[in-house]
Amino acid sequence: MRTADRVAAPVAAGRYGVNDDRDDAPEVHIRRAATTGFAARASWSGWSVAALVAMAAAVQWFLPASPQAPTESISAGAPNEIKAGVGNVIPVRSTQQALRDYIDLGKESGDVIAELPTKVLVETRPSPTGEGYELLYLRQILERTYVPSLYEFEGQSEAGQATLTRLAEPTGRSM
């Protein structure tokens, strides 16, 4: 008999009118709920499977049954063009057009200043078809953003780590 059962047995026996003083008193075994081991994992695995099924059902419930058909303005064009769009609102027929649209919209909002004319060559390799070469290059876009404060690395801590210092508020035009 386990220690927990030996402690709980006299209490249970006294509650149910069993005389503890007699040698022939029945031994009471109290079954504890499974809290560790395989039984505990088995009891919780059912709940975890039910939760996964509920989550899958919720995801399926909120997703549309099928993608919506494109509108007429998006589907117009040559049949071999790639057609995509941002929320089916802005039709995009090529990556070049998407980049031009991004730069134009950015200039209107003031976020994009310009695309730099110099492309940085990263890698050249023979074309997979065997005719010519494949070039990998970076296109650079000069953009602007505003932040409430600015920090710079200045000095080192006692442990030798660089420390950050907040720059003073600008008083006029900088740089």
Q: How far is CA 148 from CA 43, 100, 108, 151, 167, in A?
A: 53, 30, 23, 11, 11
Residue-wise burial string across 103-116, b where 16 or more C-beta atoms lie within 10 A, e elsewhere:
beebeeeeebeebe
In terms of pLDDT, which residue wins out, 115 or 5? Answer: 115
Average pLDDT across the chain, whole number = 73
Report the pLDDT value the prediction gives residue 144, as an integer from 0 to 100: 93
CB atoms within 10 A of CB 102: 14
CB contact at 8 A, 20 and 26: no
pLDDT band of residue 155 (cuts 50, 70, 90) is: confident
Nearest to 133 by CA among 117, 122, 149, 142: 122
What's the whole-number mean pLDDT along residues 29-48?
65
What's the whole-number mean pLDDT along residues 61-86?
51
Instruction: Classify the C-alpha dihedral 42-44-45-50 as positive or negative.
Output: positive
Q: How far is CA 113 from CA 146, 160, 170, in A?
A: 14, 39, 22
In terms of pLDDT, which residue wins out, 43 or 105? Answer: 105
